[in-house]
């Protein structure tokens, strides 16, 4: 039942639904005809599990682009704090893929690729200065393209929203360069509020659609909000993590060493194609160097992440140990405690068995 005062609203809702149906029917070329009996049949490809096994058995396995961190055909997220060097690594990766040059010791199995780097961070002059020394500029590989964002560009009338305009511009960049790989620096410039599902879902859905349509590998750079440097990096440190991490194929992060400010480390955060190789007990250490005119990451070695986290005080360790002990008494497992307190599983184990933080 509804109140008579609601009648105008109900009438307008009916009219709106009718207009929407008419519009969709015209687009589908079915205006004036009865809609097909199963209009949703094209959204899923449905086979038996055995048919899928047969169908995919000859599909080649994805090739490494950057060791176990990023594989061909993946939508991957690289995240870190501001000024941690995300852009430096992303440009180095793009140039290496364009020239089929391995970033040792990490595997590169793919063929030479055309790479388009969508730069929302640096101006052309800033980019040029970063890769110049004594007026000598670095000679990038031929297949590496950089696209600079133009905030003054007017939106054409045929786009309804700025998001639509951005989507169209990204697709144009892909087509005009013949890109196999797309690097976006960074995601916050594509959409605001990606911590909300309503904002993150359309963005990731569009990137996945582009990935499938053009058979792309996509790397998206993202920020972390201010985080506790005493705790290991987790998926919860990605800004908008709940939605963005769910939709990507893989993710890895850059951490900054608390013991040596010049050191950076890379850590796997999510992987589907492979197993975890570079987790909390085996992060990859780097220094950012600039030999002549190319700013880059130089591999140093491997370490436990804990060795590069900010060490808590003795008082903080005692409080943490007391809290861990309390949670164990309540029946929580070590893994549950690790998640609840946002500390590493190895840390929980040490606090319980050795009493050291």
Q: What is the rounded radius of gyration, in angstroms, for the C-alpha atoms of the chain?
A: 25
**Which range is least confidently modeled, 38-52, 133-147, 310-324?**
310-324
Q: Which pLDDT belongs to residue 356? A: 42
The per-residue pLDDT for range 58-101, each reduced to its tens digit, is: 888 899 999 999 999 999 999 998 889 999 999 999 999 999 99
Closest CA to 292 of 65, 133, 178: 133
Q: Which two tokens stand for residue 175?
A: 């087509």
Q: Which residue has the higher pLDDT, 162 or 127?
A: 127
Model pLDDT, residue 59: 87
Which percentage of the chain shows pLDDT scores above 90? Answer: 49
Residue of 84, 156, 144 whose CA lies nearest to 119: 144
Q: Which helix (H) or strand (E) holds 333?
A: none
Mean per-residue pLDDT, 24-53: 72
Instruction: Let me know if 89 is exposed, middle or buried by CB neighbors in 10 A (0-12, 13-18, 19+).
Output: buried
> Is the model more confident about 205 or about 111?
111
Q: How far is CA 304 from CA 132, 258, 266, in A?
A: 35, 13, 11
pLDDT at 52 over 80: yes
Burial 210-244 (b: 16+ CB within 10 A, else e): bbeeeebbbbbbbbbeeeeebbbbbbebbebbebb
In this prediction, residue 183 carries a pLDDT of 97
Lowest model confidence (mean pLDDT) among 33-47, 213-227, 249-263, 339-353: 33-47
Look at residue 7 in the predicted model and tell me its pLDDT: 57
Higher pLDDT, residue 9 or 179: 179
Edge-to-edge strand list for the sheet holding 115-119? 144-148, 115-119, 181-185, 217-223, 75-80, 250-256, 263-270, 283-289, 296-303
Residue 93, pLDDT score: 97
Which helix or strand (DSSP H or E) is residue 96 part of? helix 86-99
Q: What is the pLDDT of residue 20?
A: 61
pLDDT-derived band at 180 (thresholds 50, 70, 90) equals very high
pLDDT for residue 355 is more than 50: no
Could you tell me which residue, 351 or 114, shows the higher pLDDT? 114
pLDDT score of 1? 47
Full-model pTM: 0.76
Identify any residues that bridge with 113 across adjacent strands, giving them in sequence order.
none
What is the model's pLDDT at position 10? 53
CB atoms closer than 10 angstroms to residue 128: 12
User: Measured between alpha carbons, how far is 36 from 307 in angstroms, rounded to an integer?
Assistant: 62
- The CATH T-level fold of domain 64-308 is Rossmann fold (3.40.50)
Arithmetic mean of pLDDT, 253-282: 93
Residue 357: predicted pLDDT: 38
Q: Is the pLDDT of residue 317 over 50?
A: yes
Residue of higher predicted confidence among 83 and 268 = 268
173: pLDDT strictly greater than 50:
yes
As a whole number, mean pLDDT of residues 29-39 equals 58
Show the tokens assigned to 254: 């850059």
Residue 92 is predicted with a pLDDT of 97
d(CA 349, CA 61): 37
Residues 195-246: pLDDT tens digits?
454 566 788 888 999 999 999 999 999 888 777 788 899 888 886 656 788 8
């Amino acid at each position: 039942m509804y109140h008579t005062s609601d009648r105008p609203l109900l009438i307008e809702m009916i009219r709106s639904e009718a207009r929407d149906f008419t519009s969709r029917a015209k687009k589908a070329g079915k205006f004036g005809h009865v809609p097909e009996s199963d209009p949703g049949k094209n959204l899923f490809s449905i086979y038996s599990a055995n048919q899928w096994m047969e169908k995919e058995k000859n599909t080649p396995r994805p090739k490494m682009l950057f060791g176990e961190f990023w594989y061909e055909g993946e939508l991957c997220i690289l995240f870190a704090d501001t000024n941690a060097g995300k852009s430096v690594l992303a440009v180095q990766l793009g140039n290496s893929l364009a020239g089929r040059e391995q970033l040792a010791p990490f595997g590169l199995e793919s063929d030479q690729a055309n790479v388009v780097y969508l730069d929302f961070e640096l101006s052309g002059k800033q980019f040029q200065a970063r890769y110049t020394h004594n007026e000598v500029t670095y000679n990038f590989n031929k297949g590496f393209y950089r696209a600079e964002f133009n905030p003054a560009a007017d939106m054409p009338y045929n786009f309804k929203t700025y998001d639509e305009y951005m989507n169209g511009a990204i697709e144009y960049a892909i087509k005009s360069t013949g890109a196999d790989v797309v690097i976006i620096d960074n995601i916050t410039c594509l959409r605001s509020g990606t911590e909300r599902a309503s904002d993150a879902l359309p963005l990731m859905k569009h990137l996945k659609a582009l990935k499938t349509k053009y058979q792309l590998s996509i790397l998206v750079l993202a920020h972390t909000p201010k985080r506790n440097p005493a705790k290991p990096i987790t998926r919860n440190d990605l800004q908008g993590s709940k939605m963005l991490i769910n939709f990507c194929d893989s993710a890895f992060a850059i951490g900054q060493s608390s013991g040596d400010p010049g050191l950076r480390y890379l850590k796997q955060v999510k992987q589907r194609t492979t197993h975890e190789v570079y987790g909390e007990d085996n992060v990859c250490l780097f220094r950012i160097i600039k030999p002549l005119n190319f700013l880059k990451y130089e591999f140093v070695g491997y370490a436990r992440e804990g060795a590069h986290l900010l060490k808590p005080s003795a008082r903080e360790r005692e409080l943490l140990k007391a809290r861990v002990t309390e949670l164990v008494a309540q029946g929580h497992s070590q893994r549950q405690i690790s998640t609840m307190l946002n500390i590493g599983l190895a840390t929980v184990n040490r606090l319980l068995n050795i009493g050291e933080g």
